Amino acid sequence: MTFEKVTIRETTEIDLDDIIQVETIAFGQDEEAILVSDLLSDTTAKPTLSLLAFCESKPVGHVMFSRVYVKNSQHQPLMHILAPLAVIPSFQRKGIGGKLINKGIETLKARGSELVFVLGHETYYPKFGFIPNAGKFGFAPPYPIAEKHVNAWMFQWLNKEKQNSCSGKITCADVLNNPKYWVD
């Protein structure tokens, strides 16, 4: 498949079956599919951004961004976390994940989000502008991360003018604010 044949669009309620299918096939289990389904109905995750990638008419990738907050802070800028990112195995390593990330960041920026976080692969996400070890920059993760994985907790400023306007412990939407998502 060529990169040009991939299209990305924001999801709607009628896409839930396709989202579940992509997440389940990509991860080989249904835990992430359940997480996405739960995030889509979690009011504390709003505003969310859910994008599906298609190769021709076949859904092949999905990314989810949900709202995060600075714990115990009066100033609550619009911020998001990327979780999860899924591409079905036969379409991996073709740039689809990167295209989903870039489209998500571009959309969040246009909607006024100031920061985006991710807990993910330490060499993959920096390719898309994420800065490793967000804790070092004043953004503590919702739960402690093992020292050997501190660089996996990353962030990216989407609004350079608001840079350094906040810091603190990050709290996710209720569904994602669960220790099981933050362990090794």
Q: Are 148 and 49 in contact (CB under 8 A)?
A: no
Q: Roughly how many angstroms between the first and final C-alpha of the chain, as a whole number?
A: 34
User: What residue has token string 């502008």?
Assistant: 129
Find, among 116, 52, 57, the residue nearest to 86 by Cα. Answer: 52
Residue carrying the six token digits 């306007």: 165
- CB-based contact 40:16 (threshold 8 Å): yes
Q: Could you read off the pLDDT of 50-109 as tens digits, one per residue?
A: 999 999 899 999 999 999 999 877 778 999 999 999 999 999 999 999 999 999 999 999
Q: What is the percent of the chain where pLDDT is above 70?
A: 95
Structure tokens at 36: 């996405």
HSE, CB side, 13 Å, CA atoms: give it for residue 112. 4
Nearest-angstrom CA–CA distance, 41 and 18: 16
Is the pLDDT higher at 181 or at 49?
49
Instruction: Tell me the chain's radius of gyration from C-alpha atoms.
Output: 16
Please give the domain boundaries of the chain with CATH numbers for all domains.
3-181 (3.40.630.30)
Q: What is the mean pLDDT of residues 3-12?
A: 87
Query: Contact 99/53 with Cβ under 8 angstroms?
Result: yes
pLDDT of residue 164: 67
Task: pLDDT band for 2, please (50, 70, 90 cuts).
Answer: very low
Give 178 or 130, the one with higher predicted confidence.
130
Q: What is the pLDDT of residue 76?
A: 85
State residue 174's pLDDT score: 95
- Write the single-letter amino acid at 113: S
For tokens 């994008």, what's the residue?
Answer: 51
Q: Helix (H, G, I), strand (E, B), or coil: what is residue 119?
A: strand
Q: Decide if 60 contacts 96 (C-beta within 8 A).
A: yes
Alpha-helical (H) ranges within 4-133 are: 16-27, 31-41, 96-110
| pLDDT value at residue 1 | 42
pTM of this structure: 0.93
How much is the pLDDT for 182?
A: 83
